[in-house]
Amino acid sequence: MDIKQEHKLSREFQRLEDLCQGETVTFKKLLEGVTTREHALLSLFLIIPFLFFIPLPGISTLFGGAIVFAGYRMALGKKLWIPKRWLDRPLPAKKMRKIFSVGQVIMKKIEKVVQPRGKYFLTHPWVERFNGVLLVICGLLLALLLPPGFNFPPAFAILFMSIGILEDDGIFLTIGYILVGLNLLLFNTLFFFGFNSIKAFLG
Residue 61's pLDDT is what? Answer: 84
The whole-number mean pLDDT for each consecutive block of 10 residues of the chain, a chain of 203 residues, reads 52 84 83 70 85 71 88 86 80 85 86 78 79 94 80 92 88 94 88 64 54
pLDDT at residue 183, rounded to an integer:
93
Q: Which pLDDT score is estimated for 178?
A: 96
**CA 23 remoteness from chain centre:** 24
What pLDDT shows up at residue 160? 94
- Half-sphere exposure of residue 137, counting CA atoms within 13 Å on the CB side? 20
Task: Give, as one character, the DSSP assignment of residue 195.
Answer: H
CB 123 within 8 A of CB 40: no
Crossing angle between the packed helical segments 195-202 and 170-193, to the nearest 10 degrees: 110
pLDDT at 22: 82
Q: Which helix (H) or strand (E) holds 5?
A: helix 3-6
pTM score of the predicted model: 0.82
Q: pLDDT value at position 194?
A: 66
Q: Nearest to residue 194, comparing CAs of 157, 155, 140, 150?
A: 150
